[in-house]
Amino acid sequence: MSTLTAQTYLTPAEYLTWERKQPFKNEYHNGYIIAMSGASRTHNLITMNIANQLYNQLMEQECEVYANEMRVRTSPTVSYFYPDVAVVCGEPRFEDDTFDTLINPIIVIEVLSPSTAAFDRGEKFEHYKQLASLQEYILISQDSVRVEHYRREGTQWTHNRFQHLEDTLSLTSIECEVPLRAIYRRVIPNVS
């Protein structure tokens, strides 16, 4: 969840210097700071469920899974976002030697909130598409069983939607499969 805060325009360098001193996360988009608000129980459960599934499946691979706290920079249009989950395989690359801003995620996952869903599907996705490394973008609803999976195929993005607990999300770029039942564990009634 996020809200636009009133302030003057900042350059990317000014934002990064300022952000590293803040007690709470703030995203950066088109020169403006977007304050990140707290997430709901459901949002947190979904984030940890999918991060845990990916971490366990990738434990023996040369991949790293980050949940909530890893900032991602897009380029050439510079924006800074905190995806709910990011995966990088091979050597992670960072903006500088502070190692807190990833520039080469292979997968980005956002858990949708009512206040962010349109932005996550639209403008934020357009910024993420600028990342040459990004192969898959996942949007997960917290209000119903609904997972949207975008996968890069050459210069195009394909789209699949999953809406049943019996469905399985296949992440081909990292060779992982995540049952929706696991994503929505303890979130949707009758999912233990």
Residues 6+ apart with CB under 8 A from 154: none
pLDDT at residue number 92 = 97
**Cβ–Cβ under 8 Å, residues 137 and 87:** no
Residue 7: the pLDDT is: 55
Name the residue ranges covered by the structural domains of the chain.
39-183
In this prediction, residue 1 carries a pLDDT of 46
Would residue 31 be called left, alpha or beta, if left means φ above 0 and alpha means ψ between -120 and 50 degrees?
Answer: left
Pick from 186, 42, 34, 161: which is nearest to 112 by CA? 42
**What is the distance between the alpha carbons of residues 80 and 108, in angstroms, rounded to a whole number?**
13
What whole-number distance in Å separates Cα of residue 134 and Cα of residue 106? 4
- How many H-runs (helices) and E-runs (strands) does the chain carry? 5, 14
**Per the structure block, which two tokens stand in for 48?**
């940890």
Tokens 């119903």 correspond to what residue? Answer: 144
Question: Cβ distance 136 to 83 under 8 Å?
Answer: no
pLDDT score recorded for residue 3: 47
Longest CA pairwise span in the chain (Å):
48
**Cβ–Cβ under 8 Å, residues 104 and 112:** no
Amino acid identity of 45?
L
Task: Return averaged pLDDT per consecutive 10 residues of the chain, 192 residues in all.
Answer: 58 94 92 87 96 98 96 94 97 96 98 91 96 98 96 96 97 98 87 56
Please check whether residue 12 is in contact with residue 33, taking contact to mean a CB–CB distance below 8 angstroms. no
- Which pLDDT score, from 0 to 100, does residue 191 have? 61
CB 69 within 8 A of CB 105: no
Domain 39-183 sits in CATH 3.90.1570.10: yes
